[in-house]
Structure 1
């Protein structure tokens, strides 16, 4: 086993680190890492960002958005939680979660957390979820990674994600908060840092021999490039969004009723029609032309709306108001 200490809390760097180890470094022994990140939502490989994310809340609270190469669902994580990563030569040739989840569960049991396997990729305590996992394979190697809730801000988790109520109903559960649990409730004596240190110690104890590998300056340079050009790239993050049509509508006090009919194609606005009972001389066709091709994220849309409204204002309505309607 090779253990790689991770100091970075930059999720783009850390996902790039995983990918670099998987595709370029390619150690002949299994690799383990445990890491944490600043507030982040992580999209699964096949997920639609528009339906999964509360864009207004994410922008207001400066939450990172990243996309994984692995499948599975969208998760929220922060410095109150952590992520585990295993990378190893692919001996089985098939996707299996068993070995990895067993290792993590055994390590947690050693620190008085009675973790158990539940469903296809979850770990639970008393039937409440605290960990989900995902994995993918590349050229003879398997990468398995997962999240752990220790002292995560669950209220922020609820606000940042658009919860799929079909999944909750299928489990007869009223809310995400009811379904999940922070492990700190079982070990209030630990901080997230001491929890990660104890967990790392117990996971490494599951292996006969462990070598520690420190990233070189060359490693870090290559990882930074991967982070910039792939994991932090908005086309990679939002480009998985398929063609979709939807309506956003709200009453803005002092401004009136506003409605947007929006068409998207792979994360870009292809058509946007504004209607309502507001007052102004706005040319809605010109607004559509202005926003066509814009990435469907608040940071891209709001400056264009502001520029447009400088020329043709709407009484009592700002660009920020319209942005909040579009991303509500």
Structure 2
């Protein structure tokens, strides 16, 4: 495994551009590991409606970065007390949505520090029933990234202030607030530890798990390409926010895989706009499914017929096709 040096950059747009550049351009003969710490920011899941996930006034007041990542899942808050990790490997169908495989070495290091850490739910690492890490994945079909964030000593109050947490998410987990179910790693450490020392211990632990291990620094040309990707994608309003769709039907439901939120605009009996939001994880680009449903009559039998040859689980994970149809056209 090769460790990618990010040269201590803390701009989330540059770090996400670096991650995607490495995913799409670095040698498929190697596995890679990337660490980065971001300035205060909100990182939005690929399929989420940014305008409905953030507290706009607070974001503007604090001048927080708002950046969309390429993987699914929910919105998260990053600051200097948050350590992010990314494993870049070849695509493997057995590894897709297999968060246990990629979190196991991280959990082992946490246990060596005295934390009773374990993977819980879809993709969370927990200690004493409190979440200290969330993970997500994205696959190009050839290569994949499995990344996560470790709450080391982040300002947890900012998580609530910066994000508009949907009531369905809170109610479905039976908690009164986000603060009650997340915690910092520092809360469970017997001895004080700085995040840079924690980063070093984590890296040393991962070295032991993946020998031989070497470090790599990007060339000037590679950094130039990363900055271009940042400028063309991660700096743009279209990528980070996108246009809010016109709709006259909104239907949402929380499944085991996450929330699916549909915005449908029907005109003269036909679907003219179809947008899918949510914090689910899927293999195929959700845009493909959205485009497939355009200009179809908004009738159940037409929708069922159209989806006959479609493998819905490729887009959302373990969601029954019949349940999806009911969500699109429930009465």
TM-score with structure 2 length normalisation? 0.72
For structure 2, list consecutive stretches of 5 or more residues without a partner in the other structure.
249-272, 275-331
- After superposition, the Cα gap between the structure-2 partners of 1:152 and 1:244, relative to the gap in structure 1 and judged at 3 Å, is farther
Could you tell me which residue of structure 2 aligns to residue 204 of structure 1? Answer: 207
Could you tell me which residue of structure 2 aligns to residue 53 of structure 1? Answer: 54
Please say if residues 84 and 150 of structure 2, whose CA atoms lie closer than 8 Å, have aligned partners that are also in contact: yes
| Alpha-carbon distance in structure 2 between the residues aligned to 1:244 and 1:134 | 29
Could you tell me which residue of structure 2 aligns to residue 35 of structure 1? Answer: 36
Please say if residues 35 and 83 of structure 1, whose CA atoms lie closer than 8 Å, have aligned partners that are also in contact: yes
Q: State the 1:185 CA deviation.
A: 0.9
| Alpha-carbon distance in structure 1 between the residues aligned to 2:247 and 2:240 | 17
| Alpha-carbon distance in structure 2 between the residues aligned to 1:231 and 1:28 | 27
| Alpha-carbon distance in structure 1 between the residues aligned to 2:106 and 2:95 | 20
Q: State the 1:190 CA deviation.
A: 0.4
| Alpha-carbon distance in structure 2 between the residues aligned to 1:176 and 1:127 | 13
Instruction: Name which of 166, 169, 182 aligns with 2:168.
Output: 166
Task: Give the paired residue count.
Answer: 249
Could you tell me which residue of structure 1 aligns to residue 147 of structure 2? Answer: 145
Could you tell me which residue of structure 1 aligns to residue 158 of structure 2? Answer: 156
Query: Aligned with 1:116: secondary structure?
Result: strand
Please say if residues 129 and 180 of structure 1, whose CA atoms lie closer than 8 Å, have aligned partners that are also in contact: yes
The 4+ residue runs of structure 1 with deviation greater than 6 A are: none
- After superposition, the Cα gap between the structure-2 partners of 1:105 and 1:47, relative to the gap in structure 1 and judged at 3 Å, is same
| Alpha-carbon distance in structure 2 between the residues aligned to 1:111 and 1:27 | 33
Please say if residues 111 and 199 of structure 1, whose CA atoms lie closer than 8 Å, have aligned partners that are also in contact: no
Q: State the 1:92 CA deviation.
A: 3.5
Q: State the 1:59 CA deviation.
A: 0.9
| Bigger Rg, structure 1 or 2 | 1
Could you tell me which residue of structure 2 aligns to residue 193 of structure 1? Answer: 196
Could you tell me which residue of structure 2 aligns to residue 132 of structure 1? Answer: 134
Could you tell me which residue of structure 1 aligns to residue 184 of structure 2? Answer: 182
Please say if residues 151 and 184 of structure 2, whose CA atoms lie closer than 8 Å, have aligned partners that are also in contact: yes
- After superposition, the Cα gap between the structure-2 partners of 1:113 and 1:241, relative to the gap in structure 1 and judged at 3 Å, is farther
Q: State the 1:208 CA deviation.
A: 2.1
Could you tell me which residue of structure 1 aligns to residue 303 of structure 2? Answer: none
| Alpha-carbon distance in structure 2 between the residues aligned to 1:201 and 1:26 | 23
1:153-302 map, 5 Å: 153-187=155-189, 189-239=192-242, 241-243=244-246
Please say if residues 86 and 145 of structure 2, whose CA atoms lie closer than 8 Å, have aligned partners that are also in contact: yes
Residues 81-125 of structure 1: CA distance to partner in whole angstroms, max 9, x if unpaired?
A: 111100011234661222101121112112222211101110000
TM-score with structure 1 length normalisation? 0.72
Instruction: Name which of 86, 92, 105 aligns with 2:107.
Output: 105
Please say if residues 33 and 84 of structure 1, whose CA atoms lie closer than 8 Å, have aligned partners that are also in contact: yes
